[in-house]
Structure 1
Amino acid sequence: MAVRPGGAITGRIVLLVAACVLLAALVNFAITFNGPPPKPAPYRTEDLAIALAGGRVPGPGQPPRIMRSATPPAPRDGEFRNPALEAELARRLNQPADTVRAWARHGGRRDLRGSFTVAIRDGPGWRVATTRPEPWLSRWHLVTIGAMTATLILLTLIGWVVARAITRPLARLAEAADAVSVNHHGAPADISGPPEIARVAHALNAMRARLVDHVAQRTTMLAAITHDLGTPLTRLAFRIERLPPADRARAIADIEEMRAMIQSVLEFARGESRPHRALDLAPLLDGLADDMAITGARIERQVAAPLPMMGDPAALRRLFSNLVDNALRYGGNARIDATTGNGRICVTVDDDGPGIPAALAASLFDPFVRAEPSRSRETGGIGLGLSIARNIAEAHDGQIVAGNRDGGGARFTVSLPLAG
């Protein structure tokens, strides 16, 4: 497993936090340096007098709002009567004092800050001048919010990039761990990342090598035992020819059973499969059902077509043959149902037998486990059929689940990836 080292995870996190704090501090400094939002310029009394007289207020400042009212205006929230301002406006407008009304939030008669409401009698009505309503968000507030939003987005993008750089090697390491199996002989995964990930990758690679070596030694040992047992079994087959016919038939059956058991153990230990190729699972299931029906087995099927997938036809046939044999042995009949959905092929094999005991539900796919524990020749093999079926399903990126139907009987469900 080639590993390209990078920066340590701790260092990356520390640098990310430091960069975020530094960037946030710089933005905060820039906002503070620009200062708080500028306060509006105060209104001068002479400008209010010009506005009330109908003239144009000089200067770049925002003029007060002028409107007419049939009745004297009422003060707004926070404004108080200002007699000094009334007197000053009456003097400047050359009007009687009782024709002027003035309310202001802050006292004074020269420069007014904050809201105010002043009015002068104009014929039957009143001419009113008020400050314009202040916006909820000033330009300074908008700039501040925009800068903070941009900083948040930038920090989020930086954090996402750093997090991806940290988690991508972890995801690859998880894929490499999932790929470890007894029949996986491909090249080790190329994982790059921090030193911590590199150490885990090296440990995983070493574990994988030990596992493959262990399985190879076990398979070699079982193959040697199978080969060595073949010779004495053959001699026994010749010697029993001298036995009486009844005893000879039973002895031959025992020898054939021993050979089948040895072959099953060897095939289970190897766990090998040929290269996968494009195939249609529908005719494979139909052919399997037809072949078993010739022997008189009670088999029903409902197979959707086509069922394209990538796989090993021989291994898949053995997978479903084991399930159908199991249904026939314990239930007396078998029903095959194959459908597609969500990019998967779902094949169920049902029977009308007694079902699966609850105590065996969790260990049914373990080697040498049988639902019928008597080990008699009439009720089945040595308990490797379902283990082999599970291995074949997993080798095809699928899974197999055992359960009981609502109406009684067992149900085995196989899920396989649909091609395309």
Structure 2
Amino acid sequence: MCSRPTSAWRMHKPPRERLPVWLRRAWPQSLLGRLSLVMVAGLLVTQLTASAIWASQLRAKAQVEAQSASLYMANGAAGAIRYFRSLPANYRLLQIQQLREMGGTRFFVNLNSSYVPVREIAPHPLARSVIDTIGAALKTDLPHSPSFHLAFAWPDQLVVSGDDVRLADLPDAWVQHILLLKPDPAPILVIQTEIEPGNWLYMAALMPNPYFLSGNDPLAWDRLALQGLSLAVVLLLCLLVVRSITRPLAALSDAAAAFGQDERAPPLPETGSREFINTARAFSAMRERIQRYIEDRERLFISISHDLRTPITRLKLRSELLDDESLRNEFEEDLDELDMMVKGALQCVKDSDIHENPAEIKLDALLGRLVRSAQLAGHTVAWQAAGMTVRAKPLALKRAVGNLLDNALFYGQRAEIRTYSAPGTVTIAVRDHGPGVPEDAFASLFDPYVRLAHGRERNDGGMGLGLGIARGIIEAHDGQLILENHPEGGLNAIIRLPA
């Protein structure tokens, strides 16, 4: 039988990185998800960085062009102000009328008796820079002039005179060659200054590049659409490449899992990249070698069982011919020990290498048979049906639970079996009412042929193999075997299987 456990045994996992909960939840578990996330994040960062650099360069270029255009507009506006200031007051309206009939000049010009309020466009850094540059240039060229009022306004909201006449109310001939109104309106620069008391010169004009405010916007919908389209195409291609890489790895993982559970999986297809083809060939060769090794091991132990039992039996017969009774007893003890070791080794190989197909198992039926067998043998076992099922190999699971129950009965005299479920798991707990275990030898709990003093006193015929066999069976089902001292005394052996 198996050795008495000596300490609480728990599954120790490697330390996880101390990451925020939201980051651990967002981090994908599959290789496809991780590669996709890394590539998407890399492309997005690259695209955003390139867009930021491009936008910075575009803004710098727009600033230089706007400064040059501002000086040009300021020079023209200063010349027009000088010209109208030099004309007699009676000739100014006549000159303005002649300019309108001729098709106008660069500026739409009007005379008003007072300042005309202008509804400005939304604040914009480049527009403010243009206004500041033109205002400073006008003050430099016309140092003795009163203050200048500059603003940008949209054509449909522009008022050109004090009697609330709007730009749209003027004849087309007056403005069609000066101000661009259709099809796409552009902001209009308005300059107002008092050339003499009670006479305000009103000038309106477009910048050399009328759309200078929108031309440097990196977030324009057409640019965003182009960048989004290119990013989507690149991401789609990257995802296709990543999927083509990870799909063979998933097939390799499934084949390895099937081989670990003794299932006959089809051979891996030798398609894809050269590295995967080499990996598939190496895995297939490894699987064949392991399979041959397992078959050779089975034949070896069968041969050992046959070859060793015959000389052991022969030696036992010959020991009966010894006259010295003490020497004969020593020979018989050694032969019994050798026979027990052979049986234990064969049991270990047999119980840890069970070839059967997984099936849906009703735990009540399986545990009920084990409990009834123990009760017929005179043992006390407490158990209550729970109506649970689990998918496993029937004989293998029966051997694992049977080994734990035998331990509990040998070392604790009476046992309790409980079954309960948790999200994703089904748990079978086998508790004894023995003295519990010390804390100084748990590292060797599952080593074969390791038995503590308490175990040897209660069961001198055991070989210390049952726990290792049980753990191997449970782990082959992707489960866990946890041994711990029960708070109320005794040992508690917990089997956790996937639901």
TM-score by length of 1: 0.64
Shift in alpha-carbon separation, 1:372–1:181, aligned structure 2, 3 A: farther
Amino acid at match of 1:196: E
Equivalents in 2 of 1:43, 1:320: separation in Å? 99
> How far 1:325 moved relative to its partner?
0.8
- Aligned match of 2:357: 275
Equivalents in 2 of 1:145, 1:334: separation in Å? 71
Report if aligned partners of 2:107, 2:203 keep a CA contact under 8 Å in 1: no
- Aligned match of 1:216: 295
Equivalents in 2 of 1:413, 1:359: separation in Å? 20
Equivalents in 2 of 1:185, 1:360: separation in Å? 39
> How far 1:321 moved relative to its partner?
0.8
2:412 aligned to which of 321, 328, 331: 331
- Aligned match of 2:193: 86
> How far 1:367 moved relative to its partner?
3.0
Identical columns (%) = 31
Select the structure that is richer in strand. Answer: 1
Equivalent runs, 1:68-83 vs 2, <5 Å: none
1:57 aligned to which of 167, 191, 194: 167
1:345 aligned to which of 402, 411, 426: 426
1:204 aligned to which of 283, 287, 298: 283
> How far 1:232 moved relative to its partner?
4.7
- Aligned match of 2:483: 402
Report if aligned partners of 2:428, 2:495 keep a CA contact under 8 Å in 1: yes
> How far 1:255 moved relative to its partner?
7.6
Give per-residue Cα distances to partners, 1:216-271, cap 9 Å, x unaligned.
Answer: 2222111112123344555677789999xx99999999988765653442242241
- Give the 3-state SS of the residue equivalent to 2:459 in structure 1: helix
Shift in alpha-carbon separation, 1:139–1:256, aligned structure 2, 3 A: closer
Equivalent runs, 1:91-106 vs 2, <5 Å: 96-97=198-199
- Give the 3-state SS of the residue equivalent to 1:86 in structure 2: strand
Equivalents in 1 of 2:107, 2:349: separation in Å? 96
1:163 aligned to which of 219, 239, 242: 242
Amino acid at match of 2:345: V
Equivalent runs, 1:371-390 vs 2, <5 Å: 371-372=452-453, 378-390=459-471
Report if aligned partners of 2:319, 2:331 keep a CA contact under 8 Å in 1: yes
Shift in alpha-carbon separation, 1:96–1:182, aligned structure 2, 3 A: closer
- Give the 3-state SS of the residue equivalent to 1:53 in structure 2: coil
Equivalents in 2 of 1:177, 1:373: separation in Å? 41
Equivalent runs, 1:16-415 vs 2, <5 Å: 44-46=108-110, 50=160, 52-58=162-168, 59-60=181-182, 62=185, 85-87=192-194, 96-97=198-199, 109-111=203-205, 141-181=220-260, 183=262, 186-190=265-269, 192-232=271-311, 261-270=341-350, 271-305=353-387, 307-372=388-453, 378-415=459-496
Report if aligned partners of 1:169, 1:191 keep a CA contact under 8 Å in 2: no
Report if aligned partners of 2:269, 2:280 keep a CA contact under 8 Å in 1: no
Shift in alpha-carbon separation, 1:259–1:304, aligned structure 2, 3 A: farther
Greater RCO, CA 8 A, separation 6+: 2
> How far 1:385 moved relative to its partner?
0.9
Shift in alpha-carbon separation, 1:211–1:258, aligned structure 2, 3 A: same
Shift in alpha-carbon separation, 1:190–1:339, aligned structure 2, 3 A: farther
Amino acid at match of 2:205: D
- Aligned match of 1:73: none
Report if aligned partners of 1:361, 1:403 keep a CA contact under 8 Å in 2: no
Shift in alpha-carbon separation, 1:160–1:295, aligned structure 2, 3 A: same
Give per-residue Cα distances to partners, 1:116-165, cap 9 Å, x unaligned.
Answer: xxxxxxxxxxxxxxxxxx89x97972222333334334333332222222
- Give the 3-state SS of the residue equivalent to 1:345 in structure 2: strand
Equivalents in 1 of 2:186, 2:459: separation in Å? 106
Give per-residue Cα distances to partners, 1:171-224, cap 9 Å, x unaligned.
Answer: 332333344449455444446432222222322222222222222222211111
Equivalents in 2 of 1:276, 1:302: separation in Å? 25
Give per-residue Cα distances to partners, 1:27-83, cap 9 Å, x unaligned.
Answer: 98xx999x98x99x9984448664543334244375999xxxxxxxxxxxxx9xx9x
Comparing 316-325 with 271-280, greater Cα deviation is found at 271-280
Shift in alpha-carbon separation, 1:204–1:364, aligned structure 2, 3 A: farther
Report if aligned partners of 1:333, 1:352 keep a CA contact under 8 Å in 2: yes
Equivalents in 1 of 2:294, 2:261: separation in Å? 6
Amino acid at match of 2:243: R
Comparing 201-210 with 177-186, greater Cα deviation is found at 177-186
Report if aligned partners of 1:43, 1:113 keep a CA contact under 8 Å in 2: no
> How far 1:378 moved relative to its partner?
2.6
> How far 1:336 moved relative to its partner?
1.1
Give per-residue Cα distances to partners, 1:281-327, cap 9 Å, x unaligned.
Answer: 1221122112212222232224421x223333332221111001112
- Aligned match of 2:94: none
Shift in alpha-carbon separation, 1:193–1:63, aligned structure 2, 3 A: closer
Structure 2: 5+ residue runs without aligned partners?
Answer: 1-35, 67-72, 74-105, 111-154, 169-180
Shift in alpha-carbon separation, 1:179–1:321, aligned structure 2, 3 A: same
- Give the 3-state SS of the residue equivalent to 1:172 in structure 2: helix
Equivalents in 1 of 2:185, 2:378: separation in Å? 101
Count of residue correspondences: 345
Equivalents in 1 of 2:430, 2:376: separation in Å? 19
TM-score by length of 2: 0.55
Report if aligned partners of 1:352, 1:410 keep a CA contact under 8 Å in 2: yes
Equivalents in 2 of 1:96, 1:258: separation in Å? 128
Equivalents in 2 of 1:356, 1:147: separation in Å? 70
Equivalents in 2 of 1:193, 1:403: separation in Å? 48
Equivalents in 1 of 2:488, 2:109: separation in Å? 95
